[in-house]
Structure 1
């Protein structure tokens, strides 16, 4: 028997965000069955990924956290070559 991949719900709040000539892709998703919390992941232009360890009660809360970090630390904080201590 082959295990099937879990079904994932993707938030419409995600998508490409560009600032200062750089673009990242915001992904907000959760499992359809089981855990109701949302995961926030940001992928840079080279495929590097920042995934928050914290989960969010709503997709809006996840997007608000992304936007807060974007405004506070800038889009460069999501780039792959940043030190791990900057990752969440």
Structure 2
């Protein structure tokens, strides 16, 4: 059984800024699993992709495809205390 101390962080984990907005790209895995892609915005909202990636580079490439297609705004959630109706 593994715990968070076994988490392997990719060296490709980084911050990305576009149009004055910054997100953190987190790429990680547990031993014997594929890579997980998670994006955390400035409000600490987290988006995690379903499924795993074979390589950390594939995860990073997926992030950049999403940014190119939808823009960084698609990665930014609501500010704390803001509710959508």
Q: TM-score, normalised by structure 2?
A: 0.84
Shift of the alpha carbon at 1:54? 1.9
Task: Supply the distance in 1 between the matched residues of 2:38 and 2:3 (Cα, whole angstroms).
Answer: 19
Point out 4+ residue stretches in structure 1 off by more than 3 angstroms.
none
Aligned length: 77
Counterpart mapping for 1:4-83 below 5 A:
5-6=3-4, 7-32=6-31, 34-35=32-33, 37-81=34-78
- Gapped regions of structure 1 (runs ≥ 5): 82-88
Contact 2:2–2:30 (CA under 8 A) maintained in structure 1: no
Task: Supply the distance in 2 between the matched residues of 1:42 and 1:63 (Cα, whole angstroms).
Answer: 11
- Gapped regions of structure 2 (runs ≥ 5): 79-85
Q: Considering only aligned residues, what root-mean-square deviation do their CA atoms show, in Å?
A: 1.5
